[in-house]
Structure 1
């Protein structure tokens, strides 16, 4: 059971950090668009 948490934990922490940063206003809507394009076009492939 602990192995599952060690594998999936960092993924959920990244998602939570991204959600919190947008929620607290660290990124504007334009920043989010640029980061989204970066992820789709460069980071994922």
Structure 2
């Protein structure tokens, strides 16, 4: 997550902010899945 993205979200519409939130959530979910996979190995 960059500072630029954070600053842009201040000026974005609520729908755009929600879309960004879901994108970040999807990225974090992918990272969690990768971590879980390494633990299983």
Structure with bigger RCO (C-alpha 8 Å, 6+ apart): 2
> If the length of structure 1 is used for normalisation, what is the TM-score?
0.43
> If the length of structure 2 is used for normalisation, what is the TM-score?
0.45
Q: Which has the higher helix share?
A: 2
